[in-house]
Amino acid sequence: MIKKEYDAKLRKDHLLNDNGEEEKKEMSSLRPLTLKEYIGQDRVVETLKIAIDAALKRKEPLEHILFNGPPGLGKTTLAHIIANEMGTKIITSSGPALEKGGDLIGLLTHMERGDIFFIDEIHRIPKIVEEFLYPAMEDFAVDFIFDKGVHARTHRYRLEQFTLIGATTRAGLLSSPLRERFGITRDLDFYNEKDLARIIKRSARIINVSIDDDGAHEIAKRARGTPRVANRLLKRVRDYAQVKADGLITKNVAIDALNLEGIDELGLGDIDRRFLKTIIFNYKGGPVGIEALSATLQLESDVLIEVVEPYLLKTGFIIRTSQGRKVTERAYRHLNIGNFDRGLKLWDTSTDPY
């Protein structure tokens, strides 16, 4: 791949969390397999541990669990850990992959007592499939419907008592009947720098690269509070350290490598800056609706809502109002746009935008 294409791919990967197959494989080797190894999300981990220990003591399957939070924070990892800790199988699927009721029934009828059924992006499950899920979750049964109209008959098929683990980046899009059928709901939040630095050091040990404390903290600072991003940045910095330095990741090596990747000291990348600058220069700082932004940026609104915005909201670069998104003064300062000391208005864009 020529350098320009490669850079474009890196940027897209950074934005969409869309790794190549090889990288996906390498990433999964970094996943912790037990709750003990899991770093961060302390309250979530603690409460899960209690639920697992109690279920094991009672020799019962776990209740259904819903994980909600931005991509890359560990929802899938936790589902695998739970299966591991419970000593059961995990069967994985995703909302968009379950197109018909039959897709779901095929999987459910093969499940043994206590097995985990993991549905990623559960908010994207089609309505007709969702309706099969209700009796499956509540009564451990699926209703087959034969014939149509007045001849319609149903046959109830018993399922083994399984545990559904759903993961979503948009809990608000779940219908309330579905949401109410989960016994345990946990929101995952962005990680702090300290926990991310620990994750980076653990990953560095696994992929066999040397890193010092300051190097790990520098990557952690730029990882958008997200372990998946942290691990990806670690690999880019490892490459850089091996080619341009003597293989050791120090603070300066991390700074140089990540600056080259277009990742700034707060973790913002090209897309984040384009997002903020579009609001500032095209929409006078906002408020602007997400569909208008999506059209201007030529990026799907779902990607903006699920991938780009959560971190910008968390770090206070944008706010959401009933009229749409607005950038904050913090964003102007960070991007060095406008001159606050001379009292220029926020949307005074006399400084060159792009």
Q: How far is the CB of 148 from ligand ADE (least distance, A)?
A: 48
Cβ 254 vs Cβ 215: under 8 Å: yes
302 is catalytic: no
Catalytic annotation, pick one of 115, 120, 195, 272: 120
Q: How far is the CB of 85 from ligand ADE (least distance, A)?
A: 15
Binding site for ligand ADE (CB under 6 A): 30-32, 37-40, 74, 77, 199, 202, 227
Question: Of 137 and 219, which CB lies nearer to ligand ADE in the complex structure?
Answer: 219
Catalytic annotation, pick one of 222, 224, 228, 236: 228
Residues 192-212, buried b or exposed e (16+ Cβ, 10 A)?
Answer: ebebbbebbbbbbeeeebebb
321 is catalytic: no
Q: How far is the CB of 349 from ligand ADE (least distance, A)?
A: 40
Cβ 39 vs Cβ 230: under 8 Å: no
Question: Of 39 and 308, which CB lies nearer to ligand ADE in the complex structure?
Answer: 39
Question: Of 222 and 325, which CB lies nearer to ligand ADE in the complex structure?
Answer: 222
Q: How far is the CB of 192 from ligand ADE (least distance, A)?
A: 12
DSSP string, 249-261: B-HHHHHHHHHHT
Cβ 150 vs Cβ 140: under 8 Å: no
Question: Of 38 and 283, which CB lies nearer to ligand ADE in the complex structure?
Answer: 38
270 is catalytic: no
Catalytic annotation, pick one of 31, 75, 201, 238: 75
Question: Of 64 and 228, which CB lies nearer to ligand ADE in the complex structure?
Answer: 228
Coil, strand, or helix at residue 164?
Answer: strand
Q: How far is the CB of 12 from ligand ADE (least distance, A)?
A: 22
Cα separation, 64 vs 105, in Å, equals 17
Please report which residue ranges of 169-289 form alpha helices under DSSP H.
176-180, 193-206, 213-221, 227-244, 251-260, 270-282
Rounded-to-10 torsion of CA 291, 294, 295, 299: -150
147 is catalytic: no
Here the tokens at position 319 are 């706010």
Coil, strand, or helix at residue 334?
Answer: helix
CA distances in angstroms from 99 to 103, 128, 145, 339, listed in the order given: 7, 9, 17, 53
195 is catalytic: no
Catalytic annotation, pick one of 169, 250, 278, 349: 169
Catalytic annotation, pick one of 76, 168, 278, 349: 76
Residues annotated catalytic, as ranges: 75-76, 120, 169, 228
